C-alpha cells in the first residue's frame, strides 16, 4: 500500500483504496506549467499531476497499442470517471493506451491555492495545462493516432487542446458536454441553481458533488472478474480511509464507487477547483471563458476527424440542445442516445465497449500483433445490400428485385387532372357512419402543391424535419405529400406512446417544424417539444401568441362548414426533384420493447414499401383502401388507391367498431382493409351492430390485412364471417420493414394441418408447429436464421435449415436505412452485412414458411435448456380456461425456472357473486371440466388449474413448468394491446414466488 506525502491541503493519495481501479494505472508526474494564471501569480514552475494510464498493463501483456485515448473529466469528477475505458483498452484485438488526467486543482492533482483577488483558473489556463501535460508525457511526439474523450466541461478543454494539436489529433469522442452557449438563452436550471448557491454549494459543502453523483441512474459499473481493472478488487470492495462529510443528496451509486468519487473532495480546502470551475462557466460575455468558448465552438467546425458521441438524454445540465449543437458543428459524428441515462452516462451504461468497437472500425485492429486495416460495418452492410437488391428479377438471385425508382408522388402527379375520388374523411363527431370531406385526385394534387408552397413560405426547406401532429385524414395526407414535394422529412411518432414516450421521441428526432392541431401545439409549448410551431388552421391572435405559432397552413372553414384550403401564397416555388437516397421519414417504433426508436427511411425505401405492398396484394389504380392502421394512411395516394380512415381514436385501436369500419368501406366501395389486431378484436365484438347495408359493404372487401401482433385462429374465423369474400392476410414485419413475409388464413390452416398428426398418426411436417406461422418472404425479400446458442446469443453463420431456432434476419429493399442517432443499436442490427437483425426468434419449416417463436430478449435460459416462449404460451392458450399466457424466467440465467403467467377466462356473473362473497380482487375462470368454477385472486394459480395447465404444456412442448401464476390482465403495449411486458411480469412472478 502506497501513502505518498502531498503538500499541505492536498488529498491523501492511496490508489489501493479506489473501488474498481487497478492501482498500476495510477501515476504522478511533475509538469512545467505555462498557464497564464501561473505567470501572473509568478508561480511559474512545475505542478504535480495525477493521471491514470493503462500502458504498464498493456506492456505487461505484450499488447502494442493502436493509439492513445486522452480522457478529460469535467466538474466535479476526476480520472476515476474513465476506469471502465482504461480496462476496455486492455484488449488483445483492439488495444488502446488510455490516459485519463486529473485536471489541476481536481482529483489527486496538485491544489494550487492561488489567490489573485478573485481571479480563478479559467478555460484558457486549463487548455494550457493540458498542453503542458501532454508535452511532458511525450504524447505530442507520438506517431500513432490520438483520440480525445471528454465529459462535462472537459469537452471545451479537450477541444481547445485538440485545436492546438491538429497535427496529432485523429478523432474525437464525447459524452454529455457542451461547446457553446449564446449568452442570451437561459442556461439549464441545474446550473442556475449551482451559481445561485455558488460558494456554499461548491466549496463550503459537498452539495454540488452530491447532487452530481445523485444524477446516476443505477449503482455504477465495477470491473468484471479477470478484467484489467479487477486487480483493485480483493474480496470486499475497498472503502476510502478518512472521514467524509455526510451526504446531502441521495445517489443510487454503489457505496464504494460513491466514496471513491468523493474522496479527493472530502474537505473544503480540496474543493477550490470545484468552486472555480463553476465560477468559470461561460454564461455571458462578462465571464473570461466566454470569448475562448466562442472561438473553440466555431473552429471545431473545421476539425475534419472522425467523431463519436454517446449521450444520456435525461441529463438536466447538458441537455439535448447541446448534443444537437455539436452534431451541427461536427456532422460527421456518429451518435448514440441512451434514453434512460443521465449526466453520468458512463455509470449508467457500458459505453466503453461501443467506444472500442467504433475505434476498431475507424482505426483498425490487431491480429497476431499486426495492424489490420479498419472495416466499417455500415459500409459493408450498404455494399452487401446494394449487391443483393441491385440485381434484376430475371437473374434468379434470392431476394432480387428491379432497381428502378418510382417517386412516391408519381401516382398523384399522373392523376393531377383526375376527377375521381382520392381521399375521403369520415365525420369524427358522429357515429362514424357519415362522410365529412371528399377530395378528388385533382383537388388533392392542387392542395398538396399549395400546402407545399405555404410551408415553404413558413420556412420549410429540403432536408428539414417536420413533425406532423394531425389526426389521420385528408389534412394529414395533404401535409405528408406536401412535405415530400418539398423534400422535407416527415416525423411520425405514435401518440399511443403516451406523453413521456412521445416527448422522448420528438426530442430525439429534433424536428425543425411542428405542424399540429391546437391540442398538439399546446402540448408542444408545455412540454417543450422542438420545432417552429405551425397551426393546421388559423387561431385567434391571442391563442396564436400564447402558443408561439408562426402561422397556419390552411384557411379557416367556411360558414357552411366547408374545410378551408391552403393559405394562398404568391411566391412561385420550384419544387426539387426527388432524391432517391435522401431521407424521407422518421417513423417511431411502438416502444413495447424499450424506448421507442426512430427508424429512418429514404425516398427509395418508402417507394420500395409501396411497391412490395402493391405487388403482394394486387393494388391497382382505383382500389379502395380502408386504413384502420394510421401509418398506412400515408401510402394510399402513393399506391394510386382511394383511401379512407374510419372513425376511431388512433391512440386506442380497439375503439374501432364494426359499424365505423363498414361505413368507411361503403364510402369508397373498398376492396382492401388494413387494421391492427387490437382493432379487429373490437370489430368482431361489435359485429351485431351492423345493418344490412353495412354487411353488404363488407362483403365486397376482397383483402383484409392485419399486422403488428399475432392473430389467434378463432379471431380469424370470426372475421371471415364478416368479410366472407375476402382473403385474410397476416403479414409479418416491423416498423423497420413491412411487410417481410405474408401468409393467408388458408395457408395458416394448411400449415397447422401439416404439423398435426393425422388419423394415422403421421405428421407431414414436424417443423410446422411451435410458433406463429407468418408464411413466406414477400417478393424481393429474404429471410434467414442465426441459430441460438446455449448462452442465448446467436451464431454468426446463417441457415435456412428447417427446424433450427434462432434470431430471424431479414433483407429487402424496403427495410429501414438506419436507426436515428442510435449508433450502437444500428451496429447490432446490421452486424451481418446486408441483413437486418429483427430481435425476433423463430424457425423455418420444411416448406420454407417462417414460424415466429417470440423475442430474442424473452428467450429463457433454464435448467431445461434454452426455451423460446411462444410454444408453451400457445399450448396453454388452447385451454378454454386460459385467455392469454406469458412464459417468464424466475432465477439466474442458466438455471432459471420457467413460470407461466396466465390471464384466466372471465365469467363476470360468477365473478361478481364470488367477489362479494369472498372478497377476492380479480377474476377468473370461465369454466373448467365438470362445470367447476374457481374465483381466482392474482398470485399462484389454484392447484387444479395449475395442474391442468402444466400437464397440457408438458404434453405439447416437453416444457416442465415450475409454477403457474394468474393476473387479471397482462401489461401490454398501447398500439397493439398484445406485446406483453414480460420483464415486468418476470419481476412480479419472482416476488410472488419469493413470498414478497
Place of cell 452492410: 381
* 629 pLDDT tier (thresholds 50, 70, 90): confident
User: Does the structure show a pLDDT above 90 at 878?
Assistant: yes
For the chain, which domains are there?
15-365 (3.40.50.1820), 408-420+432-604 (3.40.50.12780), 770-858 (2.30.38.10), 865-993 (3.30.300.30)
pLDDT category of residue 228 using cuts at 50, 70 and 90 = low
C-alpha to C-alpha distance for 761 and 759, rounded to whole angstroms: 5
Beta-carbon contacts of 692 under 8 Å, excluding residues fewer than 6 positions away, are none
Q: Residue 913's pLDDT is what?
A: 35
Q: Are strands 513-516 and 806-811 parallel, antiparallel or unpaired?
A: unpaired
pLDDT of 680 reads 94
Task: Report pLDDT for 230.
Answer: 52
Category of 623 on φ-ψ map: left (φ > 0), alpha (ψ -120 to 50) or beta: beta
pLDDT digits over 830-858, tens only?
A: 999 999 999 999 999 999 999 999 999 99
173 band by pLDDT with thresholds 50, 70 and 90: very high
pLDDT band (50, 70, 90) for residue 404: confident
Average pLDDT over residues 354-381: 94
Q: Which helix (H) or strand (E) covers residue 990, if one does?
A: helix 982-993
pLDDT of residue 236: 42
Q: Given this model, what pLDDT does residue 411 score?
A: 96
DSSP-H helix ranges across 830-882: 870-877
| Residue among 282, 297, 358 nearest 330 (CA) | 297
Alpha helices in 676-795 (DSSP H): 677-685, 692-699, 713-722, 745-755
Q: What is the pLDDT of residues 925-971, one digit of tens each?
A: 332 233 233 346 789 999 999 999 999 999 999 999 999 999 988 88
Among 888, 915, 877, residue whose Cα is nearest residue 772: 877
Cα separation, 854 vs 837, whole angstroms = 14
Residue-wise pLDDT tens digits, 504-525: 999 999 999 999 999 999 999 9
Predicted confidence band of residue 227 (pLDDT cuts 50, 70, 90): low
Report in angstroms the alpha-carbon separations of 89 from 23, 25, 151, 355, 358.
16, 12, 18, 9, 12
- Give percent above pLDDT 70 in the chain: 90
Q: What is the pLDDT of residue 395?
A: 38
Q: Which pLDDT band holds residue 818 (cuts at 50, 70, 90)?
A: very high
pLDDT over 60 (residue 798)? yes
- pLDDT tens-digit readout, 710-725: 888 999 999 999 999 9
The cell numbers describing 760, all together, are: 394415422
Per-residue pLDDT tens digits for 286-344: 889 999 999 999 999 999 999 999 999 999 999 999 999 999 999 999 999 999 999 99
pLDDT for the residue 904: 85
Can you name the residues that pair with 902 across neighbouring β-strands? 885, 966
Q: What is the DSSP letter of 730?
A: -
Q: What is the pLDDT at residue 467?
A: 98
Cα–Cα distance, 788 to 866 (Å, whole number): 8
Query: If you average pLDDT over residues 549-570, what whole number do you get?
Result: 91
pLDDT of residue 634: 77
Mean per-residue pLDDT, 781-791: 97
Q: What is the pLDDT of residue 8?
A: 53
- Look at residue 224 in the predicted model and tell me its pLDDT: 61
- Nine cell digits for residue 46: 512545475
Mean pLDDT, the chain, integer? 89
Span of 226-240, 696-710, 763-777 with lowest mean pLDDT: 226-240
Average pLDDT over residues 457-485: 96
Over residues 902-929, the pLDDT tens digits come to 998 753 233 333 333 333 333 333 322 3
Mean pLDDT of 69-98: 98
Helix H or strand E segment including 952: helix 943-957
Residue 119 has what pLDDT? 82
pLDDT of the residue at 822: 98
The partner residues of 928 in beta bridges, in order of sequence, read 932
Per-residue pLDDT, 630 = 67
Mean pLDDT of 471-488: 96
Query: pLDDT category, 593, cuts 50, 70, 90?
Result: low
Structure confidence at residue 651 (pLDDT): 74
Beta-ladder partners of 854: 841
35-60 tens-digit pLDDT: 999 988 877 689 999 999 999 999 99
H or E element: which one contains 532? strand 532-535
C-alpha cell at 955: 404434453
Amino acid at each position: 500500500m502506497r501513502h505518498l506525502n502531498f503538500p499541505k491541503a492536498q488529498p491523501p493519495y492511496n490508489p489501493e483504496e479506489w473501488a474498481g481501479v487497478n492501482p498500476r494505472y495510477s501515476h504522478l508526474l511533475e509538469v512545467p506549467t505555462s498557464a497564464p494564471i501561473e505567470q501572473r501569480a509568478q508561480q511559474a514552475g512545475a505542478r504535480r499531476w495525477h493521471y491514470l494510464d493503462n500502458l504498464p498493463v498493456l506492456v505487461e501483456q505484450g499488447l502494442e497499442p493502436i493509439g492513445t485515448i486522452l480522457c478529460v473529466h469535467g466538474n466535479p469528477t476526476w480520472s476515476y470517471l474513465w476506469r471502465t475505458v482504461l480496462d476496455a483498452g486492455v484488449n488483445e484485438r483492439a488495444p488502446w493506451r488510455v490516459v485519463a488526467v486529473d485536471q489541476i486543482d481536481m482529483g489527486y492533482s496538485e491544489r494550487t491555492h492561488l489567490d489573485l483577488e478573485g481571479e480563478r483558473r479559467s478555460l484558457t489556463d486549463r487548455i494550457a495545462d493540458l498542453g503542458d501535460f501532454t508535452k511532458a508525457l511525450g504524447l505530442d511526439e507520438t506517431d500513432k493516432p490520438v483520440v480525445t474523450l471528454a465529459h462535462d466541461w472537459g469537452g471545451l478543454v479537450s477541444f481547445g487542446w485538440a485545436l492546438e494539436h491538429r497535427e496529432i489529433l485523429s478523432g474525437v469522442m464525447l459524452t454529455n458536454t457542451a461547446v457553446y452557449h449564446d449568452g442570451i438563452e437561459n442556461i439549464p436550471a441545474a446550473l442556475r441553481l449551482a451559481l445561485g448557491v455558488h460558494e456554499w454549494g461548491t466549496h463550503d459543502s459537498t452539495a454540488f458533488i452530491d447532487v452530481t453523483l445523485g444524477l446516476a441512474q443505477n449503482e455504477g459499473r465495477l470491473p468484471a472478474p479477470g478484467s484489467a481493472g479487477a486487480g483493485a478488487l480483493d474480496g470486499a470492495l475497498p472503502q476510502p480511509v478518512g472521514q467524509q462529510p455526510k451526504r446531502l443528496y441521495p445517489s443510487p451509486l454503489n457505496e464504494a464507487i460513491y466514496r471513491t468519487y468523493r474522496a479527493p473532495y472530502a474537505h473544503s480546502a480540496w474543493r477550490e477547483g470545484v468552486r472555480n470551475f463553476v465560477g468559470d462557466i461561460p454564461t455571458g460575455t462578462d465571464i473570461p471563458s466566454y470569448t475562448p468558448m466562442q472561438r473553440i465552438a466555431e473552429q471545431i467546425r473545421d476539425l475534419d476527424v472522425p467523431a463519436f458521441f454517446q449521450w444520456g438524454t435525461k441529463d438536466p445540465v447538458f441537455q439535448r440542445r447541446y448534443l444537437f449543437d455539436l452534431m451541427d458543428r461536427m456532422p460527421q459524428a456518429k451518435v448514440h442516445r441512451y434514453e434512460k441515462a443521465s449526466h453520468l452516462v458512463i455509470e449508467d451504461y457500458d459505453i466503453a465497449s461501443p467506444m472500442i468497437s467504433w475505434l476498431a472500425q475507424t482505426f483498425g485492429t490487431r491480429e497476431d500483433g499486426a495492424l489490420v486495416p479498419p472495416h466499417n460495418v455500415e459500409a459493408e452492410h450498404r455494399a452487401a445490400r446494394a449487391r443483393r437488391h441491385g440485381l434484376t428479377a430475371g437473374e434468379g438471385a434470392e431476394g432480387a428485385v428491379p432497381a428502378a425508382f418510382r417517386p412516391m408522388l408519381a401516382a398523384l402527379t399522373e392523376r393531377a387532372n383526375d376527377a375521381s375520388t382520392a381521399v375521403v374523411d369520415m365525420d369524427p363527431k358522429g357515429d362514424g357512419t357519415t362522410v365529412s370531406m371528399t377530395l378528388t385526385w385533382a383537388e388533392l394534387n392542387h392542395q398538396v402543391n399549395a400546402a407545399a408552397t405555404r410551408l415553404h413560405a413558413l420556412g420549410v426547406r429540403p432536408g428539414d424535419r417536420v413533425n406532423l401532429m394531425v389526426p389521420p385524414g385528408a389534412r394529414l395526407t395533404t401535409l405528408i405529400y406536401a412535405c415530400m414535394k418539398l423534400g422535407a422529412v416527415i416525423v411520425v411518432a405514435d401518440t399511443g406512446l403516451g406523453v413521456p414516450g412521445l416527448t422522448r421521441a420528438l426530442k430525439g428526432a429534433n424536428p425543425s417544424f411542428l405542424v399540429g392541431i391546437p391540442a398538439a401545439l399546446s402540448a408542444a409549448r408545455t412540454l417543450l417539444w422542438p420545432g417552429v410551431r405551425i397551426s393546421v388552421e388559423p387561431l385567434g391572435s391571442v391563442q396564436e401568441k400564447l402558443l408561439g405559432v408562426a402561422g397556419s397552413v390552411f384557411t379557416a372553414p367556411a360558414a357552411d362548414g366547408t374545410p378551408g384550403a391552403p393559405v394562398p401564397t404568391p411566391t412561385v416555388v420550384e419544387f426539387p426533384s426527388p432524391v432517391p437516397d435522401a431521407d424521407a421519414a422518421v417513423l417511431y417504433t411502438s416502444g413495447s420493447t424499450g424506448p421507442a426508436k426512430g427508424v429512418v427511411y429514404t425516398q427509395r425505401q418508402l417507394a420500395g414499401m409501396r411497391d412490395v405492398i402493391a405487388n403482394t396484394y394486387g393494388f391497382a389504380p382505383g382500389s379502395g383502401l380502408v386504413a384502420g392502421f394510421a401509418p398506412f394512411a400515408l401510402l394510399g395516394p402513393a399506391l394510386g388507391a382511394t383511401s379512407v380512415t374510419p372513425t376511431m381514436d388512433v391512440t386506442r385501436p380497439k375503439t374501432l367498431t364494426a359499424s365505423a369500419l363498414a361505413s368507411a368501406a361503403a364510402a369508397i366501395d373498398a376492396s382492401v382493409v388494413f387494421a391492427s389486431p387490437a382493432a379487429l378484436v373490437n370489430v368482431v365484438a361489435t359485429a351485431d351492430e351492423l345493418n344490412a347495408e353495412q354487411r353488404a359493404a363488407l362483403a365486397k372487401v376482397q383483402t383484409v390485412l392485419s399486422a403488428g401482433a399475432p392473430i389467434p385462429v378463432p379471431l380469424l374465423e370470426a372475421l371471415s364471417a364478416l368479410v366472407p369474400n375476402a382473403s385474410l392476410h397476416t403479414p409479418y414485419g416491423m416498423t423497420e420493414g413491412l411487410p417481410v413475409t405474408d401468409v393467408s388464413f388458408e395457408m395458416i390452416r394448411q400449415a397447422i394441418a401439416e404439423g398435426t398428426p393425422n388419423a394415422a398418426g403421421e405428421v407431414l411436417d414436424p417443423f410446422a408447429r411451435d410458433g406463429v406461422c407468418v408464411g413466406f418472404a414477400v417478393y424481393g425479400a429474404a429471410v434467414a436464421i442465426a441459430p441460438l446458442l446455449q448462452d442465448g446469443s446467436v451464431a454468426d453463420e446463417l441457415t435456412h435449415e428447417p427446424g433450427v431456432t434462432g434470431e430471424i434476419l431479414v433483407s429487402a429493399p424496403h427495410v429501414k436505412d438506419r436507426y436515428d442517432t442510435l449508433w450502437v443499436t444500428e451496429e447490432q442490427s446490421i452486424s451481418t452485412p446486408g441483413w437486418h437483425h429483427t430481435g425476433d426468434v423463430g424457425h423455418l419449416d420444411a416448406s420454407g414458411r417462417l414460424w415466429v417463436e417470440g423475442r430474442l430478449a424473452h428467450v429463457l435460459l433454464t435448467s431445461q435448456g434454452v426455451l423460446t416462449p411462444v410454444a408453451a404460451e400457445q399450448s396453454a392458450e388452447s385451454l378454454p380456461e386460459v385467455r392469454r399466457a406469458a412464459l417468464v424466467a424466475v432465477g439466474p440465467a442458466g438455471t432459471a425456472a420457467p413460470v407461466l403467467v396466465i390471464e384466466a377466462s372471465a365469467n363476470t356473473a360468477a365473478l361478481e357473486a364470488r367477489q362479494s362473497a369472498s372478497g377476492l380482487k380479480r377474476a377468473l375462470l370461465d369454466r373448467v371440466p365438470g362445470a367447476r368454477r374457481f374465483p381466482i385472486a392474482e398470485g399462484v394459480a389454484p392447484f387444479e388449474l395449475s395442474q391442468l395447465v402444466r400437464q397440457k404444456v408438458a404434453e405439447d412442448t416437453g416444457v416442465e413448468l415450475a409454477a403457474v401464476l394468474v393476473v387479471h390482465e397482462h401489461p401490454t403495449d398501447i398500439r397493439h394491446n398484445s406485446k406483453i411486458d414480460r420483464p415486468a411480469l418476470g419481476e412480479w412472478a419472482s416476488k410472488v414466488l419469493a413470498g414478497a
